[in-house]
Amino acid sequence: MRRPRHKRHVALAALLAAVALALAALPFRARWWGALLLAVGEAGVVGGLADWFAVTALFRHPLGLPIPHTALIPANWQLLAERVGSMVGGRVLTAAYVTEEIARVDVAALLRRGAERIGRADIDAVVGPVARWAAEQLPRGSTTELIGWLRRVLATRPVAPLLADVLDAARRQGWDQRAIEAVARLLADLLDRPDLRDAIGDLVDGVVGGYRQRMGLYPSFLIKLADLVGLIDRSRLVSALRAAFLKVADDPDDPLRGRLVESIAALAEQLRTDARLAARVEAAWADVLASPEVSRLLDDAAAGLRRALVDDLGGERSELVAWLTGELDRARRTLMDDRAVRETLDGWLKGQATRLVERYHGRVASFIERGVRALGPEGAVRLIEEHAGDDLQYIRVNGTVVGGIAGGAIHGLHRLLGLCLPGLC
C-alpha cells in the first residue's frame, strides 16, 4: 500500500528548517532581529515536535516508548470498528436514503443505452465462446444426473393432476384438435403402405376365421358364402378404414372426431374427481418409471443429448449458438424499441432492490463492522495512513509554521510591552 513518505519528508524538512533557523539566530540573540528569529525557530521546533508526537501517538508509541494514551488506533480498533459500522449503517446509508437514491436512477434509460451499444455481432462473439466453454466443462455424467433428478421429481409428484392440467391446456390452445388430426393422418398414411395393408388383411382373415369356428354350421356357411362372393373383401375393409381416418383428419365436424374431443375433456375431469382412476394412473406411471426399458431409454436419451450438444457446439455453425444469439438479439431490440417493457423492467428492478434494502439494511452496520475488524490493528493503521496520512503530515508542517509565527508574535509583543512599559520587563 502507498505510504505517505513524501509528505513525511516535507514535515521533517519543515522541522529541520526551524532547528536550522534557531541555530543560525543563536549567535545574534543579543540583537533584536536575532532574538526574533531565535524565538521563531524555537517555537517552530516546539510546535513541530508537539504535532509529531500527536500524529505519531494516533498510530504507534512515539520512539517505541509505552507512553500512556498513545498508539490510540491499535488499542481501540475494535471500538473503532463498531462505531464506524454504526455511523455508516445507521446515519449515512439509511434505508430511506438508499431507497431515494434507487428511485432516482433511470434504469429504463440505462437499459436502452446498453441495448443500443450492443450489436448482434457482440452477442455472437460472447455466446459462442461461452457456450463452447460450457460444453467442454460439462461432465460426462451430467445429463444422466439431470435425467435421474427429473425421474426422482416425477416419481414423488402426483401425475394425475398434472396430466389433467396438460389436457386442459391442450384444449384451450386447440392442441387436442391438432393431435387428433395428426394421429388420424398418420394412421391413414400407415394404412397406405402395402406391408401394413397385408398385415391388416391377415388380421381380418384371422378374425373372420375365429368367428366361423365359434359359430354354428349355418352362420358359418353364410360367412363363408359372403367371403366367396366378395362381400368380405379385406382390401376394401382396409381402404374403408383409411378413408375413415382421412375424414377424421380433414373434417373438424366429423362425429368421431367430436367424440374424441369430448372424451379428452371428460378424461381431464375424471382425473381430478375419480380417485380410483387417479390411483390407477399413478400406479401405471410408477411402473413405467421403474421399468428397465424406460431406464435404458432415458440413459440412451441422456447420452445422446450430451453427444448432440457437444457435437453441435463443436461445429463451426452451431444451431444452439445461433438460436441463443437470435433470442438475445430479439430481447435487445425489444429493449430498444418497446418503452413499456423498459418501464416494466425499471419498476421491477427498483422494487427488488428496495425490498433487498428493507430486508438486509439492518445487517449493513454489522457487515461494515466485521469488515473493519477483519483488518486487524495493523490493517486499520495502514488503511488510515493510506487515506489520511498526507493531511496528518501537513498537520506537522502547519504545527511547525504556526508555532514559529506564534513564537515570533509573542516575542514581538514582549518587546513592544518592554518599550512601552520599561519597568515591566
- 288 and 165 in a single domain? The answer is yes
Enumerate residues 6+ apart whose C-beta is below 8 A from 73: 58, 59, 80, 377, 380, 381, 384
- 142 and 86 in a single domain? The answer is no
List for the chain the helix, strand, coil content (%; round to 5): 85, 0, 15
d(CA 375, CA 56): 20
- 202 and 136 in a single domain? The answer is yes
**110: in domain:** no
pLDDT at residue 93 in the model = 67
Name residue, grid cell 438460436. Answer: 323
- Alpha-carbon distances of 261 from 150, 248, 256, 268, 269, rounded to whole Å: 30, 12, 9, 11, 13
**387: in domain:** yes
- 149 and 283 in a single domain? The answer is yes
Are residues 210 and 248 in contact, defined by beta-carbon separation less than 8 angstroms?
A: no
- 90 and 43 in a single domain? The answer is yes
- 270 and 378 in a single domain? The answer is no
Among 287, 318, 349, the domain boundary falls at 318
pLDDT at residue 260 in the model = 83
Among 288, 318, 348, the domain boundary falls at 318
pLDDT at residue 207 in the model = 54
**325: in domain:** no
**361: in domain:** yes
d(CA 422, CA 315): 106
Range of the domain at 1: 1-105+338-425
- 129 and 273 in a single domain? The answer is yes
d(CA 303, CA 65): 74
**326: in domain:** no
- 1 and 75 in a single domain? The answer is yes
Instruction: Tell me the Cα Rg of the chain.
Output: 46
- 244 and 198 in a single domain? The answer is yes
Grid coordinates given for 343: 418501464
Among 318, 347, 369, the domain boundary falls at 318
Q: What pTM does this model have?
A: 0.43
pLDDT at residue 359 in the model = 78
Nearest CA-CA partner of 115 in 328, 336, 347: 336
pLDDT at residue 89 in the model = 67
Query: Angle 277-279-283 (CA atoms, 0-180°, nearest 5)?
Result: 120
Enumerate residues 6+ apart whose C-beta is below 8 A from 297: none
What is the block-wise mean pLDDT of the chain (425 residues), using blocks of 10 residues?
60 86 87 87 88 82 79 74 71 74 86 86 83 71 67 75 83 81 81 71 58 49 48 63 80 83 83 84 80 76 72 75 86 88 88 82 72 73 72 81 87 79 57
Are residues 403 and 43 in contact, defined by beta-carbon separation less than 8 angstroms?
A: yes
Enumerate residues 6+ apart whose C-beta is below 8 A from 353: 102
pLDDT at residue 96 in the model = 78
Residue type, 410: I
- 53 and 180 in a single domain? The answer is no
**138: in domain:** yes
Are residues 345 and 112 in contact, defined by beta-carbon separation less than 8 angstroms?
A: no
- 402 and 342 in a single domain? The answer is yes
Are residues 44 and 401 in contact, defined by beta-carbon separation less than 8 angstroms?
A: yes
- 128 and 232 in a single domain? The answer is yes
pLDDT at residue 144 in the model = 66
**58: in domain:** yes
DSSP letter for each residue of 35-93: HHHHHHHHHHHHHHHHHHHHHHHHHS-GGG---TT-SHHHHTHHHHHHHHHHHIIIIIS
pLDDT at residue 138 in the model = 64
Stated length of the chain: 425
Number of structural domains (the chain) is 2
pLDDT at residue 231 in the model = 45
**226: in domain:** yes
d(CA 264, CA 273): 15
- Give the other-Cβ count within 10 Å of 292's Cβ: 7
